[in-house]
Amino acid sequence: MPNHQEPKIITGNANPTLGKAVSRRLSMHRGMNVGLVDARVERFNDGEIFVEVFENVRGEDMFILQSTSNPANDNLMELLIMTDALRRSSAARITAVVPYFGYARQDRRTKARTPITAKLVANMMVSAGIERVLTMDLHAAQIQGFFDIPVDNLYASPVFSLDVKHKFKGKLDNVTVVSPDVGGVARARELATRVGCALAIVDKRREKAGEVAEMTVIGDVTDQICIIVDDMVDTAGTLCKAAETLLNAGAKEVHAYITHGVLSGPAIERVTNSVMKSLVITDSIEPTEATKAAKNIRIVPTAPIFAQAILNIWHGTSVSSLFDPESLEPIYDGMYS
């Protein structure tokens, strides 16, 4: 592949704020302006999506930054159509940077006659011409195997660990990381190991889908600062109930660190009125004004880690090196000093 002067970034309408932040970070790293590719992504009156790229991208290493968050179908189609436009414009390579991968919860057949939509989405992305995917905290790790192209799955845990060490400095002996269900134990254990604190689990039992009948705390959380860790928060019903359960089990206070702030329906109101001291999310999904105004919701930026990952892919160097504190801390230098 030709050695181009700079990586080229293009963004859709899903998360333009993150796209601009990544562009600024790349400009800082490169010591020159790495602006977003000039393009328009708009809709006709009937809702059809139209893309036009105004710059020459022939032979370029292109990165499309687009979360497939709400509205998931529109944002997914934007990603596919942008890919087609770049491929027909003779881009050398197209990498999809998808901070939040929609449809990831449909990763297996839970009952008869149901789809595996995550696999369908993977097929569409590859067919459109995407040659590599960069994402963060996939809901199910096996989705990487749905693609026949390289998939780099970043983790928010290293970033969260920096934040936890900063916010709870001097109190880490009294911190316990909590998984909100048995399936998330590996994610919670990773953060607990990085921070060097204890681990607990909230075991939930459902009588029917969408309703949590009973929650039980596995582990001692008496007088502990509990940090619930998960990959996404949607309506926040389970999260808020888990926080109440922990307080009833003797916890001193409860915080939550969750990668993707879907926050649909009554979620923000629930979190605001909940017993949680704070909910920390990333900007993998464009935060709404209500989210930014919520008194106990805080947003951690992902632009530093995504910009560095894009540079590593462009240079052909290791992306997994960003999982090490020695590599990550300089990227967030100044934020947690």
Q: Show binding-site residues for Mg(2+).
A: 139, 181
Q: Is residue 188 part of a domain?
A: yes
**Same domain assignment for residues 138 and 182:** no
Average pLDDT of 33-59? 95
Average pLDDT of 280-293? 97
What proportion of the chain, given as a percentage, has pLDDT over 90? 85
pLDDT band at 212 (very low <50, low <70, confident <90, very high): low
**Same domain assignment for residues 140 and 215:** no
CATH number of the domain where residue 244 is located: 3.40.50.2020
Q: How far apart are CA 270 and CA 273, in angstroms?
A: 5
**Same domain assignment for residues 176 and 256:** yes
For residue 206, the model assigns a pLDDT of 64
**Same domain assignment for residues 197 and 293:** yes
Q: Show binding-site residues for D-ribose 5-phosphate.
A: 206, 230, 234-238
Q: Is 137 a residue whose pLDDT tops 60?
A: yes
Which structural domain range is residue 60 located in?
Answer: 8-155+303-320
Average pLDDT of 179-186? 91
**Same domain assignment for residues 151 and 161:** no
**Same domain assignment for residues 209 and 316:** no
| Whether residue 165 lies in the annotated active site | no
**Tokens 């359960």 appear where?**
245
Q: Is residue 21 part of a domain?
A: yes
Average pLDDT of 304-333? 91
For residue 2, the model assigns a pLDDT of 45
For residue 15, the model assigns a pLDDT of 97
Q: Cα 129 from chain centroid?
A: 23
Q: How far apart are CA 26 and CA 311, in angstroms?
A: 8
For residue 5, the model assigns a pLDDT of 64
**Same domain assignment for residues 109 and 212:** no
Mean pLDDT of the chain: 93
Q: Which helix (H) or strand (E) holds 215?
A: strand 211-218
pLDDT band at 211 (very low <50, low <70, confident <90, very high): low
Q: Is residue 2 part of a domain?
A: no
Q: How far apart are CA 72 and CA 40, in angstroms?
A: 19
Q: Show binding-site residues for ATP.
A: 46-48, 105-106
When mean pLDDT is compared across 2-11, 28-37, 124-133, the lowest value belongs to 2-11
Q: Show binding-site residues.
A: 46-48, 105-106, 139, 181, 206, 230, 234-238
Q: How far apart are CA 52 and CA 38, in angstroms?
A: 9
For residue 1, the model assigns a pLDDT of 44
The model carries a pTM of: 0.94
Q: Is residue 333 part of a domain?
A: no
How many structural domains is the chain composed of? 2
pLDDT band at 334 (very low <50, low <70, confident <90, very high): confident
Among residues 99, 55, 58, the alpha carbon closest in space to that of 79 is found at 99
Average pLDDT of 109-113? 91
Q: Is residue 329 part of a domain?
A: no
Q: Is residue 79 part of a domain?
A: yes
pLDDT band at 325 (very low <50, low <70, confident <90, very high): confident
**Same domain assignment for residues 109 and 211:** no
Of 20, 165, 204, 252, which residue is the catalytic one? 204
When mean pLDDT is compared across 92-96, 136-140, 214-218, the lowest value belongs to 214-218
**Same domain assignment for residues 138 and 183:** no
What proportion of the chain, given as a percentage, has pLDDT over 70? 96
**Same domain assignment for residues 20 and 142:** yes
Q: How far apart are CA 309 and CA 76, in angstroms?
A: 22
Q: Is 38 a residue whose pLDDT tops 90?
A: yes
Among residues 65, 74, 55, 122, the alpha carbon closest in space to that of 95 is found at 65
